[in-house]
């Protein structure tokens, strides 16, 4: 309802009366007033005049549900949005919610993470201005298919970044690079039994409206931000909604027809296949040439001795 009240204010050229909003939404004027007060608490600048009603003067530049919902065109993703300005990690919150039975599609968003989690136990720097989100999904698939959802996420993000004018390259399995530097990281966490996947938490970190100087010094060599590449900030709520829409499209396609098309999109956007690389896994380092990904999303490497080996996990370093 709060989003609907905000919708009236956003569509109005100037003032809109409390009476009109209450009539059109079928709620009391007191209810309208309470939503206006709550919007003001969220940071919306709303002027009230006794005989004219309410006028929206400024919206906060935040990832509030009320900013994202107007753009949302999904069938289930983002129907429930949990927003907190500062969190430890959106993945941790999403996991806690999933354990308590939160529904598939629940989305967790934050402005800033104090303990952002990266892959392989690393820390993920998450200052304000970025897009830090996690969502819960509960596909009826085997746990062995979990890695495919990470590739699906990278494929969806690659497409949306391209739609926004960025030249992207996916480094297997899930780093997205622009101009040779990492701008997006994906952390998929799984809760499963041997035969059944209970839920996935897909965590996405995008260095969006951050200046590179706000990233830790040691990351500036390898990481970039969308704002620095574009020269202007992106519309974060619109970007998130576009990503969720693309993600959902590939999700239903993959569940209904298999992952072949999703993997083709991943292949089209990747910068790994055809390259010489080193993959580190379990204390071992293997060198070779990446030749393809298989139907499970595993990376197939042609080694110097002419044999092939496939990897479902590992840390890839591309040779120059
Ligand atoms: C990587 O190491 O490349 C993965 C980084 C994933 C970071 C995102 S930010 C939102 C979500 N919450 C977390 O704590 N991590 C993921």
Per-residue model confidence as pLDDT tens digits over 53-107: 999 999 999 999 999 999 999 999 999 999 999 999 999 999 999 999 999 999 9
Q: What pLDDT is stored for residue 227 in this prediction?
A: 97
Nearest protein Cα to ligand 1, atom 3: 185
DSSP 270-300: BS-TT-EEEEEETTEEEEEEEEEE-TTSPEE
Residue 231: both structure tokens together? 């020269």
Count other C-beta atoms under 10 Å from residue 257's C-beta.
Answer: 10
How far is ligand 1, taken at its centre, from the CA of residue 123, in Å?
8
Cβ proximity of 252 and 288 under 8 Å: no
Give the C-alpha separation, 53 to 15, whole Å. 6
* Ligand 1-lining residues (CB < 6 angstroms): 89-91, 113, 116-119, 122, 124, 126, 132-134, 175, 185-187, 203-205
Q: pTM value? A: 0.93
Q: In angstroms, what is the span from residue 248 Cα to ligand 1's centroid?
A: 20
Residue spans of the chain under pLDDT 70: none
Ligand 1, residues 87, 126, 243: which to mutate, most atoms within 8 A of Cβ? 126
């Amino acid at each position: 309802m709060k989003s609907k009240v905000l919708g009236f204010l956003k569509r109005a050229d100037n003032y809109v009366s409390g009476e009109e909003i209450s009539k059109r939404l079928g709620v009391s004027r007191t209810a309208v007033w309470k939503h206006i007060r709550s919007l003001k608490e969220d940071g919306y600048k709303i002027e009230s005049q006794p005989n004219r009603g309410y006028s929206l003067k400024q919206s906060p530049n935040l990832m509030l549900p009320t900013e994202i919902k107007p753009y949302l065109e999904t069938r289930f993703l983002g129907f429930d949005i949990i927003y907190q300005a500062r969190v430890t990690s959106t993945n941790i919150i999403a996991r806690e919610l999933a354990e308590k039975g939160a529904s598939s599609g629940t989305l967790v968003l934050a402005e800033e993470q104090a303990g952002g989690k990266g892959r392989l136990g690393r820390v993920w720097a998450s200052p304000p201005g970025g897009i830090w989100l996690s969502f819960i999904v509960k596909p009826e698939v085997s746990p062995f298919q979990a890695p495919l959802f990470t590739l699906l996420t990278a494929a969806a993000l690659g497409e949306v970044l391209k739609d926004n004018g960025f030249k992207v390259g996916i480094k297997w399995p899930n780093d997205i690079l622009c101009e040779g530097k990492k701008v997006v990281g994906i952390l998929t966490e799984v809760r499963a039994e041997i035969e059944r996947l209970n839920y996935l938490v897909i965590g996405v970190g995008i260095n969006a409206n951050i200046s590179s100087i706000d990233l830790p010094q040691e990351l500036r060599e390898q990481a970039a931000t969308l704002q620095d590449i574009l020269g202007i900030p992106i519309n974060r709520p619109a970007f998130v909604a576009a990503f969720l829409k693309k993600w959902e499209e590939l999700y239903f396609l993959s569940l209904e027809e298999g992952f072949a098309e999703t993997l083709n999109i991943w292949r089209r956007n990747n910068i790994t296949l055809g390259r010489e690389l080193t993959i580190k896994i379990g204390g071992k380092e293997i060198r070779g040439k990446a030749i393809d990904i298989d139907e499970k999303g595993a990376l197939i490497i042609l080694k110097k001795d002419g044999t092939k080996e496939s990897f479902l996990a590992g840390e890839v370093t591309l040779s120059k």
